[in-house]
Structure 1
Amino acid sequence: MENLERTLSTWIVRYRWWFLILMPLLILVLAKGLDLRFNGDYRVFFKKDNPQLQAFNRLEDTYTQTKNVIFLLVPEEGHVFRRETLVTVERLTELAWQIPYSLRVDSLSNFQHTEAEGDNIIIRNLVQDAPGLSDAQIARIRDIALAEPLLVGKSIPKDGAATIVNVTVQLPGIDETGEVTEVATAARALADEIRAHSHLSVHLSGMVMMNASFSEAALGDMDFLIRVSAGAMLVVLVFFLGSFGAFGTLLVIAMSALAGMGVGGYLGLPFTPPSASAPLIIMTMAIADSVHILATFYQELDSGAGAKCRREAMQESLRINLQPLFLTTLTTIIGFLSLNFSDVPPFGDLGNFVSVGVAISFLLSITFLPALMILLPARLPRFQFEIHMMTHLGNWVVRHRRRLLWSTASLMVLLTAFVPRNELNDVYVHYLDESFAFRQDTDLLDKYLGGLYYIDYSLDSGKTDGIHDPVFLHKIEVFANWLRQQPEVNHVNIITDTFKRLNRIMHENDPNQYRLPERRDLAAQYLLLYEMSLPYGLDLNNLINVNKSATRVTVGIQVLSTREVLALEERIHQWLSDHEPALVTEGSSPAIMFSHIGEQNIRSMLGAMTLALVLISLLLIGALRSLRIGLASMLPNLIPAGMAFGIWGILVGEVGLALSVVTSMTLGIVVDDTVHFLSKYLRARREQGMASESAVRHAFSHVGMALVITSVVLISGFAILSLSAFYPNSGMGLMTAMILALALLADFLFLPPLLMKIDKH
């Protein structure tokens, strides 16, 4: 191994001109793959074979799709039953048809109010010619609306303090990202127009606006966070490595990010909100290798009487660092590739992007960077104070090794004991922080009508035209009545309300006849008459399937946590099993999908972490040529994640989807510091015959500062990621920064005492 390192380092330095020319050319070729297509659709969070996604797709194939834009209209004071408000609602309802791909528009004004005139059913818009309405007519509209189950809780709250216009769209799906942007742009323009000509505040929500906001958040993050990160890295690198060292490192960082994303483009990796953080993570990770090369290079140049020329110093730096750098690159790649086991495909894509970038940064750090630094004039950074500080720290750790071993071990056990306090919890509409208009508007929608959370059930009668069967209608009516009694439920949209309204009207509007038709033929006649009278775009395809064998029941619910959604779903399933087993079916909606994916992802990532742990352990044992030290070294790599989640359990107590992948991802990163420390420690033991205490001091003085620099940069980079407006990225960044900080403390305060305990001879 020693001969191989020496041969490679000599070869790299000898052919440095080739690397200086060819590596940038290679990066240019790889960067041409950067034509990445962004996809902000929430469905990218689910694999194609995800059972909840498949159920959702089946339901949307059967009934009208749920992709929508919601206009929430709120008067400055009072209620919506005023002439000027109704005028605005009526106008917005008409203009909303101009939104691209609009399929259906539902509002208070075009609600199909039904009345009987003789033997005929008259169906007309609830609000007609709003500017000409008299006070008496407006009062009548108010009475009808507030007594209508199909409106209250869905289009208006019980107090009438707001109303919505719901625009359902049918996207062609050819370029869904572009189509979503087109719809969102048109909706925002229409909202601005309504605001300019009315006294109402206008707010936008709906699944299309969520998808658009996800995309905008990710792309905005990528621009803002990369700028902030680049600035922070420049300051840190100039401070520690000097201007020329910082210049060379920044070139490596930029080329690694460009090439990593470019290769991802060539491979066809999807670019999604989670994977949008890949450039920042690549930039952060790319620094570590360069810092270790340069730190040793500067130490060799500034080693007093034994000082070397630039070429010899770089050759020695490569000889010393090639093995640990290769090993840490491999462990980091294993950690990120383990994300492919995630049930959330974007996290796998993120891992693939970063893995490619990390591999390229390793190649650049051992080829292009040495070639460049040999040519650049040397202004040595002042490491004397830092090395002196590390030497003092090493002496202090050796002196207090017993106390440190037991105190740090006790602290690790104590903090890890709080891990069970964390509960899996996610609210997907809160993935965006409150700086986004979508989040503010959706929170306001939740205040009035319950937000975007709902659960759909497709209840099948088992036969064609079965929805006319009074027995079947009675069963689903009982189900709907039970649902309305649940505290989480805001509204239930069900076909039986339409049947009851029609039955009352056909009996001269007798309130006592507000009940289901008693005969199948009557139900069929009422529904046929009603459907024939409905205007374009307001058919019943949102409630019944084509052959009228099944009906959709939509349960509008409050914005709930993952735990609460799953509990409600289980309660509904249990009720159906107990009372109507023939109707048992799976609930379907984005809320259900996101609630299930968290638990599924944790299970899959436990397997991924186990595999990564085994592979990394085998690598360390083989590279360090010591079973005992290899296994012992895994303690300071596993414990920091447990400590961080323990602290999270104390302070927060809830973990979301993104945090479920952090342990596997960081396992390969935190190993880096351990590998570099052990590499210097074992070289001192084996090549210089030092005792374990002296070898610890040697490791602190020779690699301690490099570990501090790389850790500061890594912690800063992931801390900057925590500024993301997209919660899965910000949460992952904050947790990763915590783990890296604790890992550095473990490598300085726990690993050396452990080595001196188990490696005395």
Structure 2
Amino acid sequence: MTKMSNTIQTKLNKAVFCYATWLVKNPAKVLLGSLILALIFMSGLSQLTFRSDNRVFFADNNPDLIQLEQFEQFYGRDDNLIIVIKAETGDLFTPQRLAAINTITDAAWTLPDIKRVDSVTNFQRVRALGDDIEIDHLARAGDVLTVSEAKQLKADAALEPLLQDRLLSQDATLGLIVAQFRFQADTASAQSEAAMAAGHKLLEQYQKAYPELELGLSGSVALDHAFVEASTFDSSVLLPIMVIALLLIIAFSLRSAAGAFATFLVIAFSTLCALGLAALMGVPLSSPSVIAPNIILTLATCDCIHMCAGMKRLRGAGYDKHESVKRSLLECWWPVTLTTITTAVGFLTLVFSAVPPFAHLGIIVAIGCLMAWLFSVTFFPALLCLLPWRGRTASLPAEQFSASIARLVTRKPLFIVTTVCVATVTLGTLAFTNVLDDRYVRYFDQSYDFRVATDRMNEDLGGFYVLEFSLDSQQAGGISSPQYLQQVDAFAQWLRTQPGVTHVHGLPDIMKTINRAMQGGASSEFRLPANQDLAAQYLALYEMSLPFGSDLRNQLTADKRYARLSVSLNDISTGEMTDLQQRAEAWASRHTKLIADSANATGTSILFAHIGNRNITEMLRGMAIGVGVVWLIFILAFRSLSLSLIGTIANFAPCLATLGIWALINGEVGMAVATVASVTFGIVVDATIHMLTAYSRLRRESNLSSAAAVQGTFQNVGPGLIAMTLSLATGFICLAFSGFQINAWMGMMAALTIVVALIFDLLFIPALLLVLKPDHKAAPVTVLEAP
């Protein structure tokens, strides 16, 4: 088996040698072929699409999404734009401010695809009118109010449970105008953007007209637009910054302007080709996956850095330009190929993610890795054969640092191994103290208007996070039965006592309001009707009396079997939300047998609350498969069990240690954490492969001792590893400046993991090699001369 493997390796090396020889003799042909291939791959860019709706985070087979879609078949989609109105001083109940709210409410009816508008002023107040009831706005537009009448309306509003804590805060300083839209699932993104654009114009107009009021936009439409804003910033601002930073690092660390220019073209081609091929495969972009170009350009520099460093070193040793390119290509092709495969495997584990944008990110970046490899072994060396550049004559800072580390490692290898192991175990233990929390409002920092408006709403009123129930009466027309109404009311009353709940809105409160009006308006009559016939009559009378746009179709099913119960929450954690859901379902099963089977919470908030745990579970499975595949690659590549184990440990440990460090500096992780683990696992393998490949080659070809081989490894690949780590860390730390928390956390954690991994590669691996002195006889051969 070993003999066959060595035969295959030898034939492959001969083929690479022939290719490298042909490339340096025909660089123009290689350049032309590379450009034609790049144009073909880029042709798919015209089909690239972007999804901005928050549903992109959930797979079609997500059980929570399926439940929500079933709920929406009954009551319609809740696509809304919430105008948050806050009084700078005093409260909203002055004649001028109520008139302003009415004006903005009327303007909201002009928004595109509008279905319904609810506000403080157009709240449908129910009052007795003889044997009939009158339903009218709390404060109708055009009515001239005195100061005393406005204050009386404030007192009246305090008696309306369907208004208080739902559209109006307790202190009456903050109110909402909720515009609901009629969006289609297949065109929701475009309709949402059109509605948001109109909403922005409306806000700008009335903010100038009413400076004493603070106006902001929240709701699902504003949330979707915030995703678009985040994507635009990351791609239009952070991406150019990353490109400039990486090129400066390459030019500084390698002292090669030609290398920096060639690297820029490689990362440009790799990124555009990856996006083009992904578009041809039908993979869309979204807020998490839009950073794929940022990651690709960072990874694409790695192969170029190693090859350029080798070329500069060989040129400085006396070889001419073409021979330096040829030898560097022969020297680097094997580790570069291995790192491409392992990095692609790491990113492809993201296809196991329960969050489709992360799977899309993995696919796009994996394609980008393959493109970077392709252009690194074709376009890059061919271009450097034509560009003017010289070898280095003075040692680089990275070389001096690498030499210092080498001396430290060879002096105290056992101490270093022990210290790193103890630190890793300690940090690994801390990793499990991180708390899972995915409040999707906090995906955006305070630079986003959506976040500011939503925080203001959650602090004073609550209600952005909502749990929805569709409660079954078990028969058509059953929602009017006393048993059903009493059980729903009991369930609602229990929910109101729970921590984090700010309001509960459902049919029992509507029935109580009607009953109070029909009994003369006495507060003691705020109770459920006495029998089913009376309740049915009251409900029919109420529905007939409602004005246009205020019907109950979003509250009841047409056959009157199901009724909706909406539970508004303040800014609680996903853990608290999930706990409330579980306790609510348990309470209903014990105390309200009729509705127990249907008392299952749904809604966008529940989807985000569950997706973090589901993503971690799925990604752990993907990570396990990825680790197994990488270990198998190590075994096949090095044909040494000891080297494979060292490489696997040195790549898994930094991910665990980083989570421990994160627990110390933050302690809160969302659904991005498992994604970061997969992303960084694929990346940190690169440095390990370069280190172990160089070590095994020196041990076999030169028959060096472990200490001498370690010294030679630091000399050959140490500077490249340091420059590569600096580039990777810089590239990912740029993402930390994203206002989108998922991308910012991913950038920070990835940069931290890469730095920690460098410690393992420069300290732990060589020290462990010195302590264990693994067998090297079966290590792979790298051909540097003609066969």
Which TM bucket (shorter chain)? over 0.9
Structure 2 residue aligned with 1:658: 672
> CA–CA distance in 1 between the matches of 2:549 and 2:136?
14
In structure 1, distance between residues paired with 2:606 and 2:348:
28
> CA contact under 8 A between 2:116 and 2:181: conserved in structure 1?
yes
| Counterpart residue number, 2:352 | 341
Q: Which amino acid aligns with 2:364?
A: F
Q: CA deviation at 1:391?
A: 3.0
| Aligned equivalents of 1:587, 1:142: Cα separation in 2 | 33
Gaps of 5+ in 2: 1-8, 776-787
Equivalence for 2:525: 513
- Taking a change above 3 Å as real, the CA distance of residues 382 and 224 of structure 1, as seen in their structure-2 partners, is farther
**Pair 432,760 (structure 1): closer, same or farther in 2 beyond 3 Å:** closer
Cα distance in 1 for partners of 2:726, 2:236 equals 22
The residue type paired with residue 677 of structure 2 is T
CA distance in 2, matches of 1:388, 1:155: 66
> What amino acid is the match of 1:18?
K
Q: For the structure 1 residues 18 and 159, does the alpha-carbon distance in structure 2 shift closer, same or farther, using more than 3 Å as the test?
A: same
Residue 619 (structure 2) pairs with residue 595 (structure 1): no
Q: Residue 442 of structure 1: which of 442, 451, 454 is its match? A: 454
1:757 aligns with 2:757: no
- Residue 322 (structure 1) aligned with residue 333 (structure 2): yes
- 2 CA distance for matches of 1:677 and 1:438? 47
Shift of 1:334: 0.3
Shift of 1:581: 3.2
The answer to whether the aligner puts 1:536 opposite 2:553 as a matched pair is no
Displacement of 1:281: 0.2
Q: Give the conservation status (yes or no) of the 8 Å contact 2:313–2:392.
A: no
CA–CA distance in structure 2, aligned partners of residues 753 and 686 of structure 1: 19
Q: Do 1:84 and 1:131's aligned partners in 2 also have CA atoms closer than 8 Å?
A: no
**1:7 pairs with 2:20:** no
After superposition, the Cα gap between the structure-2 partners of 1:174 and 1:490, relative to the gap in structure 1 and judged at 3 Å, is: same
SS at match of 1:34: helix
**Equivalent position of 1:332 in the other structure:** 343
1:360 to 359, 367, 371: 371
- Kindly report the root-mean-square deviation, in angstroms, between the aligned alpha carbons of the 2 structures: 1.4
User: TM-score by structure 2 length?
Assistant: 0.94
Aligned-residue offset at 1:300: 1.3
SS of equivalent residue, structure 1 residue 538: coil
- Asked whether 1:725 is paired with 2:733, we answer no
| Higher deviation after alignment, 467-476 or 390-399 | 390-399
Aligned twin of 1:229: 242
The answer for the alignment partner of 2:385 in structure 1 is 374
Corresponding residue of 1:209:
222
Which residue is 1:191 aligned to? 203
Distance 2:51 2:180 in 1: 20
Residue matched to 1:708? 722
- What amino acid maps onto 1:227 in structure 2? P
Preserved contact between residue 244 and residue 379 of structure 1 (Cα < 8 Å): no
Give the Cα–Cα distance (whole angstroms) in 2 for the partners of residues 111 and 388 of structure 1. 74
1:129 deviation in Å? 4.1
CA distance in 2, matches of 1:521, 1:389: 87
Cα deviation digits, residues 397-447 of structure 1 (max 9, x gap) = 111212212122222122212111112111111101111111111101111
Please state whether the residue corresponding to 1:384 is helix, strand or coil: coil
CA distance in 2, matches of 1:447, 1:662: 32
- 1:114 counterpart SS class: strand
Counterpart of 2:45, as a letter, is L
Deviation digits for residues 457-509 of structure 1 (CA, Å, limit 9, x no counterpart): 11100100111111110111111111111121100101111111111222222
**2:779 equivalent in structure 1:** none
Report the Cα offset of residue 4 of structure 1. Answer: 2.2
Inter-partner Cα distance in structure 2 for 1:351 and 1:310: 37
Residue 115 of structure 1: how far off its partner (Å):
1.8
Query: Residue 366 of structure 1: CA displacement?
Result: 0.6
Match of 1:583 among 595, 604, 607: 595
Between 165-174 and 605-614, the greater mean CA deviation after superposition: 165-174
Q: CA offsets per residue over residues 243-278 of structure 1, 9 Å max, x none?
A: 111111111111111111111111110110000000
Distance 1:410 1:136 in 2: 73
Name the counterpart of 2:538: 526
Summarize the Cα distance change of 1:49–1:382 in structure 2 as closer, same or farther, 3 Å threshold.
farther
1:17 is displaced (CA, Å) by 2.6
**Correspondent of 1:28 among 19, 39, 48:** 39
Within 5 Å, give how 1:269-280 maps onto structure 2: 269-280=283-294
Map 1:590-629 onto structure 2 (within 5 A).
590-629=604-643
**For residues 424 and 543 of structure 1, what CA distance do their matches in structure 2 show?**
33
| 1:40 match: secondary structure | coil
> Partners in 1 of 2:132 and 2:430 — Cα distance?
69
Letter of the 1:426 partner, please give it: D
What 5-or-longer segments of structure 1 have no aligned partner? none
Partners of 2:522 and 2:410 lie apart in 1 by: 92
Specify whether residues 514 and 451 from structure 1 end up closer, same or farther in structure 2 by C-alpha distance, changes over 3 A only: closer
> By how many angstroms is 1:396 displaced?
2.4
User: What does the per-residue CA deviation read over 1:491-536, in whole Å, with 9 as the maximum and x for residues that have no partner?
Assistant: 0101111111111222222332221111111111111111111111
Q: What secondary structure sits across from 1:271 in the alignment?
A: coil
Task: Report the CA distance between 1:130 and its aligned residue.
Answer: 4.7
Code of the residue aligned with 1:440 in structure 2: it is V
Whole-Å separation in 2 of the counterparts to 1:504 and 1:744? 72
Distance 1:493 1:389, change over 3 A: closer
- Letter of the 2:739 counterpart: A
Where 1:69 maps in the other structure, the secondary structure is strand
SS at match of 2:183: coil
Measure the CA separation in 2 of the matches of 1:430 and 1:459: 31
Asked whether the 8 Å contact 2:512–2:528 carries over to 1, the reply is yes
Please tell me whether the aligned partners of residues 90 and 109 of structure 1 are also in contact (alpha carbons under 8 angstroms). Answer: yes
Change (3 A) 1:174 1:389: closer
Residues 633-678 of structure 1, C-alpha deviations (whole Å, 9 max, x = no match): 2111111011110111122111111112111221121111111011
- State yes or no: 1:200 paired with 2:213: yes
CA distance 1:451–1:24, change in 2 (3 Å): farther
**Contact 2:82–2:176, Cα closer than 8 Å, also in 1:** yes
| TM-score of the two chains, using structure 1 as the length reference | 0.98
The count of aligned residue pairs is 758
| Aligned residue in 2 for 1:699 | 713
Q: What is the alpha-carbon distance in structure 2 between the residues aligned to residue 243 and residue 321 of structure 1?
A: 21
TM-aligned CA deviation for residue 583 of structure 1: 1.4
Q: Distance in 1 between matches of 2:144 and 2:368?
A: 66
Aligned position for 2:564: 552
Pair 3,210 (structure 1): closer, same or farther in 2 beyond 3 Å: same
Q: How does 1:146-185 map to 2 (within 5 A)?
A: 146-185=158-197
C-alpha contact (below 8 Å) 2:315/2:392 kept by paired residues: no
Deviation at 1:381, TM superposition (A): 3.8
**How many angstroms does 1:579 deviate by?**
0.7
Residue aligning to 1:133: 145
Indicate yes or no: 2:697 matched with 1:686: no
Matched residue, 1:411: 423
CA distance in 2, matches of 1:646, 1:459: 44
Shift of 1:301: 1.2
Tell me what 2:782 maps to: none
Shift of 1:395: 2.6
**AA matched with 1:132:** V
Q: Is the 8 A contact 2:112 2:195 kept in 1?
A: yes
**1:366-407 CA-partner distances (Å, limit 9, x unpaired):** 111111111111223455244354234323211121221212
Change (3 A) 1:758 1:582: farther
Aligned positions of 1:481-496 closer than 5 A: 481-496=493-508
Residues 421 and 650, structure 1, Cα contact 8 Å, conserved in 2: no
Q: CA–CA distance in 2 between the matches of 1:583 and 1:173?
A: 30
Given residue 156 of structure 1, which amino acid in structure 2 is its aligned partner? L
